[in-house]
Amino acid sequence: MFRDPGRQVPTVHGAVAFRQLPEALRNVTYSGARHPGATTPECPSYAADGAAGVPGLAAPDPFDDLAGGANCQRYAYAVLRHFGLLIPPLRSAELWADERATHRVDRPRPLDLVLFDGGPADGRPPGYGAHVGVHLGPDQVLHLCREAGRPAVWRYADFAARPRYGRFLGAKRAGRAEGR
């Protein structure tokens, strides 16, 4: 995790905070194929063996290119990156289990990641397939989903009203917990 001191947590919340994001973060289309860890052709900006296949060069950051769309995690991480918070490209179950780059919190603050799911599933780890959004403030979550097609700000009740998002799994904050 890295925090760029030049970017600040938004002081406005919800739709106002959303409107203040750069155009590139307001007009992303949903694409389930463009998720953390996706390889070409789904994510042409990602090359596991080096940049554009050139040996010895680091792979491009898979969150830099949102022009081809994103899923919820990829989008949430790009929003956090805009504010100087870097999260490794974790899928939802990995994010929920992670204790190196994030930690669980009881009450989300702006720019915390929030996870929703439909409840426990036999044979799957906690967080598997969970939907990830960014808490913007009281009762406001910025997220990207297939249903909306583009980034949207929903209330927690909007998630609870949908079976696939009906359970609030919890919140994760970038950085390690105090004392670790």
pLDDT tens for 29-78 read 998 887 776 654 444 333 333 333 334 434 344 345 788 899 999 999 99
Q: What is the pLDDT of residues 103-155, one digit of tens each?
A: 999 999 999 999 999 988 899 999 999 999 999 989 999 999 999 999 999 99
pTM of the entire predicted model: 0.78
Q: Which residues lie closer than 8 Å to 111 by C-beta, 6 or more apart? A: 9, 10, 79, 80, 83, 85, 134, 135, 174
Rounded Cα distance between 40 and 34, Å, is: 10
pLDDT of residue 165: 94
Percent of the chain with pLDDT over 70: 74
Domain ranges of the chain: 14-174
Q: Give the CATH fold of the 14-174 domain.
A: endopeptidase fold (from Nostoc punctiforme) (3.90.1720)
Is the CA virtual torsion 78, 84, 126, 91 positive or negative? positive
Query: Partners of 174 in the beta sheet?
Result: 102
pLDDT of residue 34: 73
At 20, the pLDDT band (50, 70, 90 cuts) reads: confident
